[in-house]
Each structure stands twice: as structure tokens, then as C-alpha cells.
Amino acid sequence: MLDRARNGESFVVTKNGVQVAQIAPPPPPEANGKDVLAFLHAWEPDGEGFTDEIVEAVEVLAEPAQRDQDRLAWVDDYR
């Protein structure tokens, strides 16, 4: 059952006709900022600067204090 669950199947376990458990595949892993940043640093540059802009944006998101400062600056510029 575990091998089958790993391959996407789900099973309901019952006792006396009452559901007591479920065996199911785990949810897909969620990428976090560190994973995305590591991927982008390993990515080959595109020659047009797009990669550098994405890496810079992710680095800003990794630093909440900087992100908040940038957000406030954007609001001030908008006014």
C-alpha cells in the first residue's frame, strides 16, 4: 500500500465500517525563497540581464526589512 500511495493512490482504512485513517501520497513539496534563489544562482545567465533582475528581486524578498522599506518607498513615490 505504501508503494502504491507513493505512486499517487489513496486508501481509506476502516474499522467496523467506520473510517479511522487514510493512507495517501504526501503533498508536493513547496519551494521556499531559499530554494528559488539557489535555483536562480545556478541558472545560466541569459545575456539580457533578466536573470540578474530576478535574482535581485528574490534577494529583496528574502529580507523582510528591506522589502518593507522598498514597499514604503514605492508608496511614497506613488503619492
- pLDDT tens per residue across span 40-71: 777 776 667 776 777 677 666 665 565 566 66
Task: Please give the pLDDT value at position 73.
Answer: 64
Instruction: Identify the residue with better confidence: 11 or 66.
Output: 11
At residue 2, does pLDDT exceed 80? yes
DSSP result, 1-50: -HHHHHTT--EEEEETTEEEEEE-PPPPPPP-HHHHHHHHHHSPP-SSSH
The pLDDT assigned to 35 comes to: 77
31, 44, 45 from 48: Cα distances, Å: 26, 11, 8
CA angle centred on 63, ends 49 and 40, rounded to 5°: 35
* H/E element, 60: helix 50-62
